[in-house]
Amino acid sequence: MKLGLLTASLPEESLTDLLRRAETVGFEALEVATWPPGSGAPSHLDVTHLTEGDTEWMRSHFARHDCTLSALAYYDNPLHPDPGERERVRRHLEACIDAAGRLGGAPVGTFIGRDPGKTVAENLAEAEEIFPPLVERAGEQGIRLMVENCPKQDWHPDGHPGNLAYAPELWERLFDLGLYLNYDPSHLLGLGIDPVAALRPYIDRVAHVQAKDAEVFPQRRCRYGYPGPVLDREGAGWWRYRAPGLGEVDWRSLVDALYEGGYDGVVSVELEDPIWTGTVENVQAGLEVAYRTLRPLVVA
C-alpha cells in the first residue's frame, strides 16, 4: 500500500506545488481533481485538452517526486434530472477515462448520483443503462471505473441520500455493473454502519481508499436521529468530518483489514475537516495530522 492525498483540499495550488508538498510531507501518491476548468470545483488537470506534452510532463514530474498517480477524481451526478446536465457529466466522465488510459491506467472515481424525483428502483434501472457503456470504455483501456460511498444528502431536497452508493446493499448492485468502490469509511459512521465490518466482504472490489474521519455527537443524534436535521438543514448536525485520527474510525483495524484482504492500492487522505481547512496553513497542518496517524499503519 501507499499513502497519498486528494488534491481537492488545495484548489488554488498548481500540480507542481502539490507534488512538492506531497514529497515534503512524505506522501507517495496524488489523487488528482479533474472537474472541468471553470466549473467552480477543483481542477488540477484539464482532461478535455490533454496533449502529448501534458502526459509526458505528468510522467516526468511524478517520477521526479517519486509519486504515483493514484486516481482521477470527478464526482458529479450522472443521474442528474436535467438531461442536458446528465449528458455533460457523461461526456466529462468519458474524457476522464480516456485521460486515465493515456496516463498509465489509474482508476477514475465518480458518483452514481440520483434523480431525487424518482424512486431508488427507478434510479438503479437508469444506472443499468448509463454505466455499462462507461465501464466498457474504461475496460478497453485497462481502467477501473469506481464510485464513492458518499451519501450526498445535499443533493436531495429532504436530506435523504442523493448518491445511491452509500451502503453495502447498493454496492452489490453496482458491482454487478462492473463498477468498483472508492471506499471512504467516514460516510458510514453517519449511517450507523461499522466501517470495518462493512469493508471486509468487499475488499476485492475496492480500487482505491479515501482516508477521512468523522466525529459524532450522540446528544445531537438523540434530537435528529440518523437522517440528521430535517427542518434546520443549515445548522449543525450530529456528526462532522475530521482529519484521520481525530474522529471515530478505527484506523488500526481498518488498515489491518485491507492488508489481510490483499489490498495493495493507495490510501488517499481527503481533508474536509472544518478545523483544518480554510487556509493553506490549516490544510498543511491537517495533512500532517493525517500523515502522522496513518504512516505507522501504511507501511512505506
pLDDT in tens, 4-13: 999 999 999 9
Examine the pLDDT at 33 and tell me if it is beyond 90. Answer: yes
Averaged pLDDT, 28-46: 97
- Grade residue 174 by pLDDT with cuts at 50, 70 and 90: very high
CA atoms within 13 A on the CB side of 184: 31
Yes or no: say if 78 and 41 are a contact pair by the CB < 8 Å rule: no
Asked whether the predicted pLDDT for residue 296 surpasses 90, the reply is: yes
Q: What distance lies between CA 243 and its chain's CA centroid?
A: 15
pLDDT for 232 equals 82
Q: What is the pLDDT of residue 228?
A: 87
The 10s digit of each residue's pLDDT in 282-294 is 999 999 999 999 9
Q: For residues 38 and 44, give the distance between their C-alpha atoms in angstroms, rounded to a whole number.
A: 11
Alpha helices in the chain (DSSP H): 15-25, 52-64, 83-102, 120-140, 168-175, 186-189, 195-199, 218-224, 251-260, 280-294
pLDDT value at position 85? Answer: 97
CATH class of the domain defined by 2-294: alpha beta
Exposed / middle / buried, residue 186 (Cβ in 10 Å: 0-12, 13-18, 19+): buried
pLDDT digits (tens, 9 = 90+) for 177-228: 999 999 999 999 999 999 999 999 999 999 999 999 999 999 999 999 988 8
The amino acid present at 180, given as its one-letter code, is Y
Paired sense of beta strands 239-242 and 29-33, if any: unpaired
118-133 pLDDT, tens digit each: 999 999 999 999 999 9
Confidence of residue 233 (pLDDT cuts 50, 70, 90): confident
Query: What pLDDT, in 10s, does the model give residues 62-100?
Result: 999 999 999 999 999 999 999 999 999 999 999 999 999
Across all residues in the chain, what is the average pLDDT?
A: 96
Query: CB of 163 within 8 A of CB of 191?
Result: no
pLDDT tier at 56, thresholds 50, 70, 90: very high
Q: How far apart are CA 57 and CA 258, in angstroms?
A: 32
C-alpha–C-alpha distance, residues 150 and 30, integer Å:
20
Closest CA to 273 of 219, 214, 229, 233: 214
Every domain of the chain and the residues it spans = 2-294
Residue with cell 493525517: 290
